[in-house]
Structure 1
């Protein structure tokens, strides 16, 4: 069983998948950083706040909570019922950026793979075939 497992792991497609997952996770962190550190501050500035991910609707405050009702982090830690629409919008923008980049990569890969595929043989010129030409030559020689 251990030998079969080693063979399974050593297959190229399993290793490729492992590399793809690791690179995908690292790339996801880059996109998240781009969204959180570059794009969302600009969006937040346009909508009047520096940190768009902190926009929320407070539904209820837990009993015994004495902190600020505008402090997103403190309310979240206290277990307050909130709808964090700013975080949701940030996640959607993250997804759209990541999906677009994956689309571009797949599109590029398809074009690159198409270049390596066998190209169909050139169509034969329209005209007499070799057999027809040889027959004509033979007939001409007989005359």
Structure 2
């Protein structure tokens, strides 16, 4: 049970959980950005729906309304483009709104921590020097 508790409280698991929650929270925001901004910009050059960008490799690629099947091989590269844009936007939002501020705060925290460690190391060095001098004085008194 202690091993499981240590596993759960390990930093990587907590970071992963935070990443999943943040990703889920940003899904609607990112989808709205893609649907409200990216698709209309792309739509200025053609259709406003990225899913409409397709290519036909074989046949006529027409939908048979009776059966619901497509005649030919339909490549829906617009869907892939939309997913890639959504990923890039999500990554940018997470990086600029979470990673950069947290890194900045951690850098400030670590610099303060490093200063404290330096003070402790300096005190330890001074203590060693003083103890060495005391040892030398004791040796000199004996000899």
TM-score, structure 1 as length reference: 0.57
Aligned equivalent of 1:101: 93
- Higher RCO structure (Cα 8 Å, ≥6 apart): 1
More helix by share: 2
Question: For residues 80 and 29 of structure 1, what CA distance do their matches in structure 2 show?
Answer: 34
* Contact in 2 for aligned 1:55/1:84 (Cα 8 Å): yes
RMSD: 3.3
Cα-to-partner distance string for 1:17-51 (whole Å, 9 max, x where unaligned): 3233122123134213321343212321x113232
* Contact in 2 for aligned 1:55/1:85 (Cα 8 Å): yes
Question: For residues 19 and 7 of structure 1, what CA distance do their matches in structure 2 show?
Answer: 18
| Unaligned residue ranges in structure 1 (runs of 5+) | 69-73, 123-143
Matches within 5 A, 1:110-121: 110-119=103-112, 120=115
Q: Secondary structure at the match of 1:24?
A: helix
- Say yes or no: does 1:81 pair with 2:79: no
Matched residue pairs, number?
A: 110
Cα-to-partner distance string for 1:74-104 (whole Å, 9 max, x where unaligned): 55xx585221121122122112212222321
| Unaligned residue ranges in structure 2 (runs of 5+) | 120-143
